[in-house]
Chains A and B, each alone.
Chain A
């Protein structure tokens, strides 16, 4: 086989891998199209009731936020959780003691905070867009400032209480 053909085969393999991965992802999206919570969106619940399915367009008008994480010195950038929640819930109606629960069913992880903690920008409670295209919850709060404590692949945000 000539070198040119070898390169073409290698490029063909790359294209095939990309087609398989993107095809499977598209199938997953199609299988849930029309559902209350479309694939990729993140449901927001208030006292157990579905309020909205957070979608990328919800973030378009929000101010970006970033910080350098102390563990690895990498920049984490995204949107403050208080702003994201504020798109669908009135922040003035939420009491500081209200509980905000952000979870990932695939990672079996969750973070539980009060609205007071979430609303304080000094805590930098933020949703960051991960490499996989999913959201991860990061913060500088002591209980949430390392990779082990972050919640990757977030698929549920819940607000309960006053």
Chain B
């Protein structure tokens, strides 16, 4: 019998991670007035998702699914399409970073994957503004500050994801998952 690329169990796991991203975006509020601070949750979840389902395309699928959910729920300031594309970009950015780094098992790799994935979202937001002819930032350093914030919070999220994966591995979660697959 031909083996499917992703089992039903893995697809359900990825869908749950996608839903978790949207729930985290809505429910978890940090009292920080810093752009991109939700990346701490966001990138942690997506890095864990890609670690739990170690198949190429897993992060993209989570980005795609969470983007659809977020667009349907009306999240974001600039309409459904921008919301969908920005969520998808996180998945694609994370996917490319994982391909480059070969995984996010180590703390440093996780942080870099998180930073790259989150910056992909920043690029989409910036490009959307540029394409629509948005004015230059009111504060000259506003964009640099936002970008630095996205990198830092993305890296923190990726680091948190890598540490979570390490904890899951120590707890024997991956052996358990291998049986379920």
A134→B137 contact, CB < 8 A: yes
A133 touching B97, Cβ below 8 Å: no
Whether the pair B138, A40 counts as a contact (CB closer than 8 A) is yes
Q: Give B49-94 interface residues, CB cut-off 8 Å to A.
A: 77-78
Let me know if B132 and A106 touch, CB within 8 A: yes
State in angstroms the CA–CA spacing of A111 and B139 once bound together. Answer: 22
The reply to whether the CB of A73 lies closer than 8 angstroms to some CB of chain B is: yes
Determine which of B101, B143, B144 lies in contact with A7 in the assembled complex, contact meaning CB atoms within 8 Å.
B101
Are B136 and A106 in touch, CB under 8 angstroms?
Answer: no
Instruction: Answer whether residue A105 sits at the interface, using C-beta atoms and an 8 A cutoff.
Output: yes
B51, chain A: closest CB distance, angstroms: 16
| B146, CB-defined interface residue at 8 Å | yes
Question: Which residues from chain B sit less than 8 Å from chain A, CB to CB?
Answer: 26, 29, 31, 33, 35-36, 77-78, 97, 100-102, 106, 108-109, 112-113, 115-116, 119, 123, 125-126, 129-130, 132-147, 151
User: What residues of chain B lie closer than 8 Å to A9, measured between beta carbons?
Assistant: 100
**Residues of chain A from 1 to 48 with CB closer than 8 A to chain B in the complex:** 3, 6-7, 9-11, 13-14, 17-18, 21-22, 24-25, 28-29, 32, 39-42
Report the separation of the CA atoms of residues A80 and B147 in the bound assembly, to the nearest whole angstrom: 27
Q: When the two chains form their complex, are residues A28 and B102 in contact, meaning their CB atoms are under 8 A apart?
A: no
Nearest CB to that of B33 among chain A residues?
A77
Bound: A17/B116 CA distance, A: 10
Report if A142 contacts B (CB, 8 A).
Answer: no
* Contact residues on A (Cβ < 8 Å of other chain), bracket: 35 or more
CB within 8 A of B78: which of A10, A75, A152? A152
Chain A interface (Cβ within 8 Å of chain B)? 3, 6-7, 9-11, 13-14, 17-18, 21-22, 24-25, 28-29, 32, 39-42, 56, 72-75, 77, 105-107, 129-135, 147, 150, 152-153, 155
Top 6 closest pairs, chain A to chain B, by CB = A133-B142, A133-B137, A131-B35, A39-B136, A40-B136, A106-B133
Most-contacted residue by chain B among A7, A32, A77 (CB, 10 A): A7
4 further contact pairs, Cβ within 8 A, besides A135-B138, A153-B135: A14-B119, A28-B136, A107-B78, A134-B129
Inter-subunit contact A42/B125 (CB<8 Å): no
CA distance A74 to B36 in the complex (A): 14
Q: In the complex, what distance in Å separates the CA atom of A93 from the CA atom of B119?
A: 47
B151–A14 CB distance below 8 A: yes
With both chains docked as a complex, state the minimum distance between the C-beta of A117 and any C-beta of chain B, in angstroms. Answer: 23
Contact residues in A for B135 (Cβ distance below 8 Å): 39-40, 42, 106, 134, 153, 155
Residue pairs across A and B with Cβ atoms less than 8 A apart, 16 shown, are A3-B102, A7-B108, A7-B109, A10-B113, A11-B112, A13-B100, A21-B126, A22-B143, A25-B136, A29-B136, A40-B135, A72-B26, A105-B133, A106-B132, A131-B35, A133-B145
